[in-house]
Structure 1
Amino acid sequence: MSNSNRKLGLLPGSVVYTGENPNYNITVTVIYYSKTFHKRVVFSADDKIDIDLEFDGNIWINIDGINDVGLIKRIGKIFNIDSLSLEDIANPEQRVKIDDRDSYIHIILKMLQMELLTKDVQYEQMSLIIKDNILITFQETPYDLFESIRSRLENPRTKLASKDVSYLAYILIDTIVDNYLLILDEVETEIDDIENKLVESADREDLENILTLKQNIAILKKFISPIRELISKLQARSMLNYFHEDMKYYLGDLNDHGIIVFDTVDMLNNRATELIQLYHSMISNTMNEVMKILAIISTIFMPLSFIVGLYGMNFENMPELKWHYGYFITLGLMAGLVILMIIYFKKKKWF
């Protein structure tokens, strides 16, 4: 049964995990931070999750793993997150989007990484809830790009530690978008390598590599294309209630990054299509070269075949057959014809 079938017939807002890691160990990390304070507390899914909501600084709650529906509901109850948002959090195939709720905003996007050996693009969903002085993030796996951000929060002198959670949310999103650019750089390098190899010689393996590349770019385009719209919505007047006043400048910079990423993935998609055309062109050229060589060989042997056929006719009155040097004269004639034809083909630059 496909994972999506688990939700068939259920009411909207039914929180059902539809991913592929049902037994994943979940951890909940709570970071309290301000200009003068930092504290990190880690819970397992079985622990009683005790969060100090009276803390007058900022709170970042990160949940690694979304397969425990019970835990997601507990978090939702603590922070008054509605069932539709919880449903989206538990569905790792949810599209990239942003929802403006009554007391919070919910952002869904994808973190991407490229496998070093296979060059396959892997992705996982990340949800961000911004509510008052609290940022809640849900990730499918412990893998993320944010360890350096956590380290910066430990230093109260950093700009990150001194600002509110909306700035932290911006930093997380900006890190994800910047990572898109790193992956796109790797894809562009791969395109350059394949292109250089195609110019030298094209084989079946090249076509397989190009098709894999096209699949990866399709995944990238699927998740990157909505980013520009998401960032534009973040800049909308209604969203500014959740962000500090000076955040509009940072969001403008984030929008620039989003445009660059969008344009880059579009350009790479076009280049990958051109690679397929180049592959077919090189294969066609190779076939033409083979056919040309075969045609030249056939042309060279045509007069030789004529001579052999002529003197292979068993007529009684063929004086040349009785010449003492007839065999050697015929061989010389055939060799001379071959040499003359090769010289002619060379002058015509046919090979």
Structure 2
Amino acid sequence: MIVRTLKRQRGVALITVLLVMVIAVAAVTHAVTRNRLAISRTSAILANTQLAEFVHGAEAWAIIALEQDFADDLTAAAASDNLQEPWAQKMLEFNPGNGKIRIRIKDLQSCFNVNNLTESRAGGAGSRGGSGAAGSGYSSVLQRLVRNLGGRNETALAIVDWIDPGDTPLASGTEDTGYLGLEVAYRTPDTFITDVSELSAGQGIEPEEWRAIEPELCALPESSTKVNVNTASEALLSAMYPSANIAGLINQREGGMFFTQMADLTPFSVTGGGELDFNSAYYVAHIAVQLGPEHRQYWESTLKLDTTTGAVKVIQRQRREFSGQLLQELLGD
């Protein structure tokens, strides 16, 4: 009996030891896992902090470049903002330590400001147009632009109805009545927007069509803005002045001859020109930053130049998702 009791006690002791070991191993594993998570979290916080400083540094460089351009223009005999100036070069690169900073500045007055569509459909600034700008203003220019880019007229009308103050649809289902009947219902803003990406939710706009149109659109924080003839694309200028010799104008521009006054555009049958300008006040800095092989961010910072003082400030900053093509272009991957 005594022997059997001892054997039972040894078995219980062994099980107890094993349970203690299991508990100890689980506790250690949990502690190690928590420690690793804490280290990973701290590393991510530090990386994001450093990347934020990279972005602020890139914005500071863009501000200095644009302010210097303004100062140079003040001393120039005939000044314009054009694609041959230092700020407009393809990309600036910095490689601080284990990081990368890539900056590319784009003139936002080289594209169609969709917030101009907030002007009334009838009369007012929305119906302005110089010789060759056939049609009834911003809406007609947008329709021709979309057509020039291979899009459908219904797409242009959906964009107009998304922003303009009217509630009468220009196409089928492009005002509130069309969107409220969807499974996920929403309304058109019928006012200023801050990002052109929301236009992709317009009725009937196809993804492939939107990809072709989006680069030619921008959403500036005011209406009645003008287009810089020295930086605008052929598609946009042709939409604004369909009867003008825009191809000849572009050829002269690509040859390094830029425009500083309306008289320079007369040989190309561009007259009137109330929608055109030769300098710009709005820009966007495309900023890509990287720290080590893992941490990457892409930002778009909208900059406004005070055309009186020459001071530049950031008025909007947005973090964007990277596309594969953009990664390759900006970070060289």
TM range, smaller chain? under 0.3
Greater radius of gyration (CA): 1
Report the TM-score when normalising by structure 2.
0.25
**Counting helix residues as a fraction of each chain, which structure ranks higher?**
1
